[in-house]
Amino acid sequence: MLVDITLKITPKMVTDAQGNEKKALVGHLGTHFDVMNKEFPLEYTERNGIVFDVSNVTNRDIDLSDIDLDLIKQDMFVAFYTGFIEKEGYGGHTYFTEHPQLSNELIEALLDNGVSIIGVDFAGVRRGKEHTPKDQYCADKGVFIIENLCNLKSVLNAGGSFTACTYPMNYAEMTGLPCRVIARI
């Protein structure tokens, strides 16, 4: 079974995003990688993946205690389902400023475990002024962040494990790369 976990962009979403996120049309619209100054390795296009259901976490960072770290193996695509993109909708002010975020401890543990890709169904692993520096920190360690995933609940309902097939656009010198991500279950 194949599940498209890429956000489908509509003209209204483009307008909303442009009004609330200055980078929305410079590679950062919809589902995309924050690649910073790195090249996305072709071997990352297919990775074993897992989705963690952290939809019950509210009013605090998603932390290490919210997942089973033993399920994470080197080179994995690790995704986090919060349901935020479905609840809030993509592109509005709240979507970009009040989204969930991963704790620094959790991000560090993912990096220590050698994951390749961190995927989230919201606008970034950290908010505000912490967003870009944390993206760069991860990229410097060879870990790419994919933001604005959707349909992760379908992957969870099928068991949560999948093969992530990820295909970024072949753009150069961009901080964001739009991509298509398909979960093969």
Return d(Cα 133, Cα 183) in angstroms, integer. 28
Q: What is the dihedral of CA 62, 67, 72, 78, to 10 degrees?
A: -40
Average pLDDT over residues 89-101: 91
Token pair 């090249």 is found at 39
* Helix (H) or strand (E) segment spanning residue 156: helix 152-157
Q: What is the fold of 2-178? A: Glucose Oxidase; domain 1 (3.50.30)
pLDDT in tens, 25-36: 556 678 888 777
Q: What is the mean pLDDT of the chain?
A: 91
pLDDT at 4: 96
pLDDT in tens, 145-171: 999 999 999 999 999 999 999 999 887
Return d(Cα 79, Cα 26) in angstroms, integer. 24
pLDDT in tens, 168-179: 988 777 778 889
Write down the domain spans for the chain. 2-178
pLDDT at 115: 98
Among 27-31, 37-41, 102-106, 121-125, the range scoring the smallest mean pLDDT is 27-31
Return d(Cα 108, Cα 119) in angstroms, integer. 15
pLDDT at 10: 81
Q: What is the dihedral of CA 48, 143, 115, 168, to 10 degrees?
A: 0
Nearest to 163 by CA among 39, 45, 8, 80: 45
- The pTM assigned to this predicted structure is 0.93
Percent of the chain with pLDDT over 70: 93
pLDDT in tens, 14-55: 777 665 555 555 566 788 887 777 888 999 999 999 999 999
